[in-house]
Structure 1
Amino acid sequence: MYKIAVIGDYDSIYGFATLGLSICPVKTTEEAKDKLRQLAGGKYGIIYITEAVAAEIKDEIAEYQEQTTPAIIQIPGVSGNTGAGVEGVKKTVEQAVGSDILFSEE
């Protein structure tokens, strides 16, 4: 069975521990890269990562985009929502479905 982890600054992710998720607070870009590699190589099927940290390690995240697992999903942190997480999910759904699911002809 796969596990779920959350990577980001401590203030943004500590609440996820109450849900039983593995929290991985990071302070530097190198720490974030190392933690992502470690989790992706383990038994983690879903890795949530704050948008701020994801922006710093885009190249590392891209290495896992074509793989089934782990699913790497961006979430807003305490610093606010940049929209990158929603855009990433939208792009993934577009690839899977073949069209823009939010497009409206009004």
Structure 2
Amino acid sequence: MYKIAVMGDYDSIYGFAALGLDTFPVTFQEAGERLHQLAAEGYGIIYITEELAAQLKHDIARYEGQIIPAVIEIPGVSGNTGSGVRGVKKSVEQAVGSDILFSN
């Protein structure tokens, strides 16, 4: 079974520890290295705050073509930028070939 990690600023991620997820509060300076470390340690899912993900586009792109780890953006305390929803929408469209949020 794969492990699940949550990366971001402390205020955004501390609640995930209560769910049994491994939390990793990081700064922008150490985030890229931590992301690669978690991937190497066999984490299957890595949740990352949208604000942090915006700074790590190049690092996250390294894992886009791989099944493991799945790097998924989540809103942080600074709010929802919509980036996470767009990423999930794109992944589902690729998987099923249809827009899941189609609106008339």
Return the TM-score normalized by structure 2.
0.96
**What are the residue-to-residue correspondences of 1:60-99 with 2, within 5 Å?**
60-99=59-98
Alpha-carbon separation, structure 1, partners of 2:33 and 2:46: 14
> Structure 2: which 5+ residue stretches go unaligned?
none
Instruction: State the match for 1:2 in structure 2.
Output: 2
Instruction: State the match for 1:25 in structure 2.
Output: 25
Residue identity in the other structure for 1:60 = D
Instruction: State the match for 1:15 in structure 2.
Output: 15
Alpha-carbon separation, structure 2, partners of 1:101 and 1:15: 29
Residue identity in the other structure for 1:64 = Y
Alpha-carbon separation, structure 2, partners of 1:14 and 1:103: 34
Alpha-carbon separation, structure 2, partners of 1:11 and 1:101: 31
Q: Percent identity?
A: 69
Return the TM-score normalized by structure 1.
0.94
Q: Per-residue displacement from partner, 1:33-85 (whole Å, max 9, x unpaired)?
A: 00100001112000000000000000100110110011110000000000000
The alignment of Structure 1 onto Structure 2 pairs a total of residues equal to 104
Residue identity in the other structure for 2:59 = E
Alpha-carbon separation, structure 2, partners of 1:103 and 1:80: 24
